[in-house]
Amino acid sequence: MKETIKQQNLKEEFYTSEKCYVTELSNTPDDSDVSIARARVEPGVTTRWHRLKGTYERYFIISGIGLVEVGKLPPQEVTAGNIVLIPPMCRQRVTNIGTEDLVFFAICSPRFSQDVYEDIDDAAKKEEV
């Protein structure tokens, strides 16, 4: 990795099948230890149940109000300043329960790559029944 100062560019935001918007802030092969993304969930939206293989994830809530479901913990409300720690293979999803966008940083180590993402929404729904 080389010394660099990067600027956030929200024009690079994209919509994911997880039902949230993501802007990759720092995710490159030359900095494989960590990635940082900005995630945005619109009011009333619940992301899909998913987990990451071999990757630790942390949510740092920037703004909005969410209901986070992680592993076997009971659902918990999160707001600006809260940090959610998610170990590898731990099921997770978040619901925006507020009236404004829920915005958080998703910090992954090692860095996020699409091949570590596992959608388990259908399987989780069957478990809930």
| pLDDT at 60 exceeding the cut of 70 | yes
Query: What's the pLDDT score for residue 125?
Result: 63
Q: Can you tell me whether residue 116 is helix, strand or coil?
A: helix
Sorted by where each begins, the domain ranges of the chain are 14-128
How would residue 127 be classed by pLDDT, with cut points 50, 70 and 90? low
Query: What's the pLDDT score for residue 108?
Result: 98
| pLDDT at 19 exceeding the cut of 60 | yes
Query: What's the pLDDT score for residue 25?
Result: 96
Question: Do residues 62 and 105 make contact, with C-beta atoms less than 8 angstroms apart?
Answer: yes
**Share of residues in the chain with pLDDT > 90 (%):** 88
Topology given in CATH for the domain delimited by 14-128: Jelly Rolls (2.60.120)
Q: E strands, the chain, where?
A: 14-15, 21-26, 35-41, 50-52, 56-63, 66-70, 76-78, 83-86, 92-96, 102-109, 117-119
